[in-house]
Structure 1
Amino acid sequence: MRRLFHQVSCWFALSPPDRTLFLQAFLLLPLTAWSLEIGGLRQTQRWLNWLTAHCSKTANDPAQLHHIARIVNLAAQSSPWGNCLKRSLVLWVLLRYRGVETTLQIGVRRQQQLFLAHAWIEFENLVLNDHPDVAHQFSPFTQLVPRTE
């Protein structure tokens, strides 16, 4: 009950444009999860790339990009589909829709006997949806930019 109250109060604290962004992210999360389950990462990236194929470039203000990432993270926290890969893909597509080119990073690390992987979004080497030092905690094994084929 507390969590629901907290989520409702967070919703009302958002501005109308942020509520729209929250809803977009909240709706894209299960679609992205479904696409990953059915087609895998590469096919999901192609689909998301197709959704934003004709978007124009806009100004790339890092403060605004971090704000959008914060709203996407808020939506991901309210969703059962909000893991790091899904929220990063949703942020990627919402920024691409605004004409902002970003990079999906996937990094790995070993912790005791576990192999851990993590995903985040970078804009010009600036981490948007995670801690700034995430690349030091996880070694990025490649930069994943969707193919446009």
Structure 2
Amino acid sequence: MADEADALAAMAEILAPHCHVTRLSGGALIADWKRTRFLGMTPADVRALTGGDAEERAEVVTDLVRAGCATGRSRAPTEAGVRLWLHGTHLLIRTLGFGRVLRLLPVVAPDYARTDRPPAEQVGRLKRAVQSQSRRSCSVNGDCKSEAVTAFVLLRRRGWEAVLHVGVREHPFALHTWVSSAGLCIPDADPGGHAFTPVLSIGRGGP
């Protein structure tokens, strides 16, 4: 039973965000919500992910890739990748306006049927990368909107929970944007110790 649970956990790691695996008495069932279809796996296929040799595991993974169920979850973004997303997002906000960019988020960062809670260390690593690249850029220069949208897109495209908040402070009046995920905020939700009240939140889950 433990081996089967380990196999399902391993399968969930390689599945695309739009797929969900459920254990059955006769193996496992993969629900592909993007294509509205269901794929069955035999107990032997499930066990091969943890108890089989490298060739057996590769065969199962290859079948999942060919079926389009293991291609959506990208690897963690590199520093260069974060920089490109950050600069592109900043340019898009300056060109189209922040409101229009928010309306584009469902396209570039879709709300997948399966959204996992990311490891805190992964979110922390992304936060450091985003803020480091932001400080190094003369154009971005710590812009909270660019940092938050970049983090939101990168997290959601990996099938991870993320909520984008737009907050307001009355005295003195100011606006701030941040993303909450795994208990962390990108950038900080209260820069300089000033609290902001969320007036708009995009995404599932909570802060």
Cα offsets for 1:54-97 (capped at 9, x unmatched): 97756611221121111111111111214011011001111112
Matched, 1:92 2:149: no
| CA distance in structure 2 between the partners assigned to 1:110 and 1:70 by the alignment | 29
Give the aligned residue type for 1:83: D
Asked whether the equivalents of residues 120 and 127 of structure 1 are also in contact (C-alpha less than 8 Å), the reply is: no
Whose helix proportion is higher, 1 or 2? 1
Asked whether the equivalents of residues 109 and 152 of structure 2 are also in contact (C-alpha less than 8 Å), the reply is: no
Residues 1-149 of structure 1 mapped to structure 2, 5 A cutoff? 21-53=78-110, 60-79=118-137, 80-81=139-140, 82-111=142-171, 114-123=172-181, 126-131=183-188, 137-145=195-203
Unmatched segments (≥5 aa) in structure 1: 1-16
Range with greater deviation from structure 2 (42-51 or 115-124): 42-51
- Which protein has greater RCO, CA pairs closer than 8 Å, 6+ apart? 1
CA RMSD of aligned residues (A): 3.0
Q: Secondary structure at the match of 1:33?
A: helix
Give the aligned residue type for 1:72: V
Identical-pair percentage = 24
Asked whether the equivalents of residues 166 and 178 of structure 2 are also in contact (C-alpha less than 8 Å), the reply is: yes
Cα shift at 1:127? 3.1
Partner of 1:11: none
Q: Secondary structure at the match of 2:198?
A: strand
Partner of 2:58: none
Range with greater deviation from structure 2 (93-102 or 58-67): 58-67
Q: Secondary structure at the match of 2:159?
A: coil
Give the aligned residue type for 1:91: A
> What is the TM-score of this pair, normalised by structure 2?
0.50
Partner of 2:30: none
> What is the TM-score of this pair, normalised by structure 1?
0.67
| CA distance in structure 2 between the partners assigned to 1:41 and 1:67 by the alignment | 26
Give the aligned residue type for 1:116: A
Q: Give the total of aligned pairs.
A: 126
Unmatched segments (≥5 aa) in structure 2: 1-74
Q: Secondary structure at the match of 1:137?
A: coil
Cα 1:116–1:53 change in 2 (3 A) is closer
Asked whether the equivalents of residues 151 and 179 of structure 2 are also in contact (C-alpha less than 8 Å), the reply is: yes
| CA distance in structure 1 between the partners assigned to 2:111 and 2:81 by the alignment | 18
